[in-house]
Amino acid sequence: MTISTAQFTRSIAPSRLGTLGLVLTDVGTITRRALVRWRRKPSVVVTNTLLFPIMIVLMFGYLLGGAMTVPGGDYREFLLPGMFAMTMVFGIGATMVAVSSDTARGITDRFLSMPVSSAAVVLGRACADMLESAATLAVLIGCGLAVGWHPHRGLADAAAAVGLLLLLRFAFLWVGVYLGLLCYANPEAVTAVRTLEFPLGFLANPFVAIATMPAWLGPIAAWNPLSSTTTAARELFGNPTGGDHTWIAEHAILMAVVWPLVLIAVFLPLSIHRYRRLSR
C-alpha cells in the first residue's frame, strides 16, 4: 500500500517534488517497509537486536572478565566500548541476511520493475538498518550503565564516540548490502559471513588489549578498522585504551573517520552497481 502511495505521489506532483524529492519519497517508503517487521515480528527483533548483545556483555563482563587484566584500568570499563563497536560488526550479517532474503524472494526484482530509484532502494535499506543499530546501541549503553560502566569526559565527547560508532556501522552496512546482493543465491555464503564476524572482532581490540598480543599479531589487529573505532570510543568515553602506543592508536580518532569513509567510498558504489546489474 505504501509503495502504491509513493507511485501516486510521483504521478501527480513530479514538478513540485523534483527529482531529489521523489528519491527521498522512495527512500522513506522503503525504510518504512523494512521497519514493518519490528511490529510484525517483535520477538525476532528483541532477541537478535537487544537480548543477544546484552548476553554477550554479561558473559564477557562477569563470566570471563574476572580473568582479564587491562594495562591501566578496569576490564569492564575497557570492555564496554569494545562491545559497542563489536555490535556494529554484527550488523554486516544482519544487513546481508535482509538483502539476500529480499533478493532471493523476488522482492528486489519487483523494485527493479517499478519507477523507483535504484539509489533509493539501497538507501532505504540503509536508513532502516541504521535506526535499528541506533536502538541496539542505546540499549547496550543502558546495559553498560547498569553494570557499572560510565563515560568520564562529558556529554560532547560521549556523543562524538556514539557518532563514530554509528559511522562504522554505516560503513559496514554497505559491505553487508553488497555481499547480500552478491551471494543471495548461495545460503552457505551468508552463513559463512555471519560466522566470520566473531573472528573479525577477535582480530582487533574489543575484548583484549593489543599490547598483550604476540608481536606478529599486534600490528594486524592495530590496523583493523574496528580497532581504530574501538580505541577512539574508549578515548572519548574516558575509558582505558589498553596501553597501545603505536602511531595508529595515537591517531585513533582520525582513523575512526578515515577507515569508514574508505569503506563507504568502495562499497556504496559497488552496492548500487550490483543492484542495477540484477536486472540483466
CA dihedral 211, 212, 217, 219 (to 10 degrees): 0
- Predicted pLDDT of residue 227: 96
Alpha carbon distance 165, 226 (integer Å)? 9
> Crossing angle of helices 75-104/225-237, nearest 10°?
130
> What are the residue boundaries of the structural domains of the chain, listed by start?
45-63+72-277
DSSP 3-state assignment of 63? helix
| Cross-strand bridge partners of residue 70 | 73
The reported pLDDT for the residue numbered 85 is 94
pLDDT at 37: 66
Mean pLDDT within 46-75? 73
What would the pLDDT profile of 6-27 be if each residue is shown by its tens digit? 443 444 344 444 566 666 777 7
130-189: pLDDT as tens digits? 888 898 899 889 888 888 888 999 999 999 999 999 999 999 999 998 998 888 777 777
The answer for 242, left when phi > 0, alpha when psi is -120 to 50, beta otherwise, is left
pLDDT in tens, 85-143: 998 998 888 888 888 887 777 777 777 677 666 667 778 878 888 888 898 899 889 88
The pLDDT assigned to 161 comes to 97
Percent of the chain with pLDDT over 90: 31
State residue 120's pLDDT score: 74
Q: For 244-279, write each residue's pLDDT tens digit.
A: 888 999 999 999 999 999 999 999 999 888 887 775
Contact 82, 207 (CB under 8 A): yes
Ramachandran category for residue 152: left, alpha or beta (phi over 0 → left; psi -120 to 50 → alpha) = alpha
Compute CA distances 119 → 20, 102, 172, whole Å. Answer: 11, 16, 17
State the pLDDT at residue 67. 65
Give the global pTM: 0.84
CB burial of residue 126 (10 Å; 0-12, 13-18, 19+): buried
* Average pLDDT for 34-44: 67
Does the pLDDT at position 28 exceed 80?
no
The single-letter code of the amino acid at 150 is: H
CB 247 within 8 A of CB 221: no
Across the range 54-67, mean pLDDT stands at 74
User: Residues 6 or more apart from 48 whose CB is under 8 A from it?
Assistant: 94
Please name every residue paired with 73 in a beta bridge, in sequence order, or none if there are none.
70
Exposed e or buried b per residue across 67-96, where buried means at least 16 C-beta atoms within 10 angstroms of its C-beta: ebebeebebbbbbbbbbbbbbbbbbbbbbb
* Amino acid in the structure at residue 261: L
At residue 213, what are phi and psi to the nearest 5 degrees? Answer: -85, 160
Q: Which tens digit of pLDDT belongs to each residue from 189-224?
A: 777 877 888 888 889 999 888 988 898 999 999 999
User: With bands split at pLDDT 50, 70 and 90, how would you rate the model's confidence at 48?
Assistant: low
What is the distance between the alpha carbons of residues 264 and 270, in angstroms, rounded to a whole number?
Answer: 10
Per-residue pLDDT, 7? 46
Contact residues for 97 (Cβ-Cβ < 8 A; gap 6+): 180, 190, 194
Cα–Cα distance for residue pair 225/207, rounded to 1 Å: 15
